[in-house]
Amino acid sequence: MKIGIIIETKEFEKAWNAFRFAVTAKKQEHEVKIFLMGEAVECDGLIHPRFNVDEQLKLFVKIGGEIQACGTCLTSRNLDATETCPISTMVDCVNLVTWADKVVTF
């Protein structure tokens, strides 16, 4: 199955669970793509003692997951794209939604 995941939060536990979901789906051999928007573009490097978002994000990429980050959301926060979170557009978000069999939002 093709699973699209849209993450809009950097709240530690919610973002951590979103990436855990993505990792689990990928390990079950689903095709998984993530689009980060709003404050979720700040997830790269986000670490909490109990909810290490960055660790799950990096694991998702390591096992072949694809992440895109909203360019407008990055720019509004004076952030640059990273290797794990390349800059993307709303067109990319729409394309993710139309590509996916199912879309999950966090």
The encoded tokens of residue 36 equal 């980060």
pLDDT at 83 over 90: no
CATH number of the CATH domain containing 66 = 3.40.1260.10
Q: What are phi and psi of 48, to 5 degrees?
A: -135, 145
Q: Please tell me the predicted confidence (pLDDT) of residue 42.
A: 96
Number of domains in the chain: 1
**Stated pTM of the model:** 0.95
Band of pLDDT at residue 84, cut at 50, 70 and 90: confident
- Residue pair 40/77 in contact by the 8 Å Cβ criterion: no
Band of pLDDT at residue 53, cut at 50, 70 and 90: very high
pLDDT at 27 over 90: yes
Which structural domain, as residue segments, surrounds residue 7? Answer: 2-105
pLDDT at 85 over 90: no
